[in-house]
Amino acid sequence: MATQHLDPTDPTAGPVPADALAGYLRAQATEFLRALRLHRETGAGGPEESVDAARALRRSARRISGSLHTFQALLDADWAEDMRPELAWVSGTLALEHAYASRLERLLQALHRLSGAPVFSARPATDVAVAGGSAASGRSAAPGGAGPAAPTATAERGNLTVGAAKAGALLERQLTLARTRAHSTALQALGSSRFHAVADKVAVLASEVPLADGAAGADLRPLAAAAEERLTDAIAALPLVTAGHPYNAEALVHGLSPDPVPHPQDAPWHQVRLLLRLHRYAREVVHGAPDPADVRLLTAGEALDRHRDASEAAAAAAQAARTPRIAPATAYALGVLHADQRHEVEAARYAFRHCWQKEAVGTS
């Protein structure tokens, strides 16, 4: 592989000085400020640009926060400890609106798939994705866009069974309300003094990275290798043998459990998703830029994103089924939908396992 000599775990590669970390953090801080400016400029204008700007903000906030975590030993300890939770708060707050929008889109698409293709001869399933996408970006800036599902949306699904249509309307109502609340919360957060303090600190970071005493000459590679080791350890603890057998029916095992935490089995996978991201960011720091080998990490990460999304969509379907006074047909459709998404969870584990095994073979 062309990038093999840049592998942070490769003992024959040369040391990577802390300067690379400083350069990376400065670049990400600059990117954060650029995205923030764009967000302020587009906030009242085109919603698509606003969504892009919010995504760029989250993206850089995650990278700064992740790098502070992995390379904390080389940074001013107090500064890094103050900064990390604030950046996590920013990216977490901004992520929620997008999460609700894409969860609704995923669930509505699944409902359409489950209702059978022939139903959509006049209205192809892709329309839904487009409608969902425009709802996510188009309506997000409109105040009061939530509330009960628009009657038109329900009429558009008139060809579905009553249960599927009602389940879709219920999910649309609940998740649109949640998304609108998340949107308001994000707007409030961006206008808060807490956020201004974060932005000020990032502005300082863009020109001056507070390295720890004597860190300037240190090698980044051992810390990057430690991040990779945390990832591989966590992956080694996953039930990958089971995940590698298709149709193992593991993901739905607790599907009807009275356990209030419905799927504790998902937690280690979510954890691996976060560790994989930290590993990927550490590689970016060490290599100075995303390198071709990252494509594999991206694919593995996408499988884990899908795992997380399906897990949360399944939980949303189960949650909606607990709405009082719903019709049995609605509850039935939500049960089918829940199980469908739990099988997506299982499919994502299978995909991750195969991707990761290829990865292990490819880089060993």
- Interface residue list for a copy of itself (CB under 8 A): 111, 113-119, 159-161, 163-164, 246-247, 249, 252-259, 321, 326-340, 343-344, 346-347, 350
**For residues 250 and 291, which CB has a smaller minimum distance to a copy of itself in the complex?**
250
- In angstroms, what is the minimal distance from the CB of 241 to a copy of itself? 15
- In angstroms, what is the minimal distance from the CB of 240 to a copy of itself? 15
Beta-bridge partners for 75: 211
**For residues 144 and 328, which CB has a smaller minimum distance to a copy of itself in the complex?**
328
**For residues 309 and 340, which CB has a smaller minimum distance to a copy of itself in the complex?**
340
How is residue 88 written in tokens?
């996590």
How is residue 261 written in tokens?
């935490």
Contacts 24+ apart (CB under 8 A), 157-161: 159/115, 159/119, 159/120, 159/122, 159/123, 160/111, 160/112, 160/115, 160/119, 161/115, 161/329, 161/333
How is residue 103 written in tokens?
């969860």
CB distance 65 to 91 below 8 Å: yes
- In angstroms, what is the minimal distance from the CB of 208 to a copy of itself? 50
d(CA 19, CA 201): 19
**For residues 157 and 287, which CB has a smaller minimum distance to a copy of itself in the complex?**
157
How is residue 204 written in tokens?
């300082």
Nearest 10 degrees: CA dihedral of 305, 100, 255, 154?
-130
**For residues 67 and 330, which CB has a smaller minimum distance to a copy of itself in the complex?**
330
- In angstroms, what is the minimal distance from the CB of 148 to a copy of itself? 20
∠ CA 119-133-158, nearest 5°, is: 25
- In angstroms, what is the minimal distance from the CB of 223 to a copy of itself? 37
**For residues 95 and 114, which CB has a smaller minimum distance to a copy of itself in the complex?**
114
- In angstroms, what is the minimal distance from the CB of 119 to a copy of itself? 7
- In angstroms, what is the minimal distance from the CB of 102 to a copy of itself? 19
Listed in order, strand segments (DSSP E) in 162-279 are none
**For residues 284 and 346, which CB has a smaller minimum distance to a copy of itself in the complex?**
346
How many CB atoms within 10 Å of residue 122?
Answer: 7
